[in-house]
Amino acid sequence: MKKVLVLPGDGIGPEIVSQAERVLAAVVAKFDLDIETSHGLIGGAAIDATGKPYPEATDAAAKAADAILLGAVGGPKWDALDMAIRPEKGLLAIRSQLGLFGNLRPALLYPQLASASTLKPEVVSGLDLLIVRELTGGIYFGQPRGIRTLENGEREGFNTYVYSESEIRRIAVVAFEAAMKRDKRVCSVDKANVLEATVLWREIMEEVAKDYPEVELSHMYVDNAAMQLVRAPKQFDVMVTGNMFGDILSDCAAMLTGSIGMLPSASLDQAGKGMYEPIHGSAPDIAGQNVANPLATILSVAMMLRYSLGELAAADAIEQAVVAVLDQGLRTADIATKDEQAVSTTAMGDAVVAALNA
- Choose between 40 and 212: whose C-beta lies nearer to ligand IPM: 40
Give which of Mg ion, ligand IPM, none residue 88 binds (C-beta under 5 to 8 Å, depending on kind): ligand IPM
CA distances from 203 to 57, 162, 164, 346 (A): 41, 15, 12, 48
Q: Is the peptide bond before 144 cis (omega within 30 degrees of 0)?
A: yes
10 forms part of the interface with ligand IPM (CB under 6 A):
no
Smallest separation (angstroms) from ligand IPM to the CB of 243 = 7
Range 166-205, binding ligand IPM (CB under 6 A): none
21 counts as binding Mg ion under rule CB under 5 A: no
Which one is catalytic: 52, 89, 140, 334? 140
Which spans in the chain are helix H?
Answer: 13-31, 44-50, 56-64, 87-97, 121-124, 165-180, 196-209, 222-231, 243-256, 295-307, 312-327, 345-357
Q: How many CB atoms lie within 10 A of CB 236?
A: 25
Active-site residue among 191, 212, 307, 334? Answer: 191
| 8 A C-beta contact, residue 304 and residue 322 | no
CA distances from 283 to 113, 128, 140, 290 (A): 21, 25, 22, 12
Q: Which C-beta is closer to Mg ion: that of 280 or that of 331?
A: 280
Is 247 in the active site? Answer: yes
Contact 299, 319 (CB under 8 A): yes
Residue 29 identity: A
The verdict on whether 140 is a catalytic residue reads yes
Of the candidate spans 72-80, 160-168, 240-248, 345-353, the one that interacts with Mg ion by CB under 5 A turns out to be: 240-248
CA distance 123 to 239: 18
Q: Does 88 bind ligand IPM (CB under 6 A)?
A: yes
- Options 128, 183, 251, 269, the catalytic residue: 251
Distance in angstroms (rounded) separating the CA atoms of residues 355 and 30:
12
Please select the residue that binds ligand IPM; options are 16, 91, 253, 356, rule is CB under 6 A.
Answer: 91
| Closest chain position to ligand IPM (CB) | 88
- Our finding on whether 287 is near ligand IPM (CB under 6 A) is no
Distance in Å, CB of 316 to ligand IPM, minimum: 26
**Beta carbon of residue 74, minimum distance to ligand IPM (angstroms, whole number):** 6
Catalytic annotation on 234? no
Is 48 an active-site residue?
A: no
Write the DSSP string, 121-144.
HHHHTT-EEEEEEE-SSGGGT-SS
Query: 8 or 74: whose CB is closer to ligand IPM?
Result: 74
* 247 touching ligand IPM, by CB under 6 A: yes
| Interacting residues of 58 by C-beta distance below 8 A, sequence separation 6+ | 7, 40, 41, 42, 46, 90, 94
Among 66, 167, 190, 247, binds Mg ion (CB under 5 A): 247
Residues that bind ligand IPM (CB under 6 A): 74, 88, 91, 247, 279, 281
Catalytic residues: 140, 191, 223, 247, 251
Residues that bind Mg ion (CB under 5 A): 247
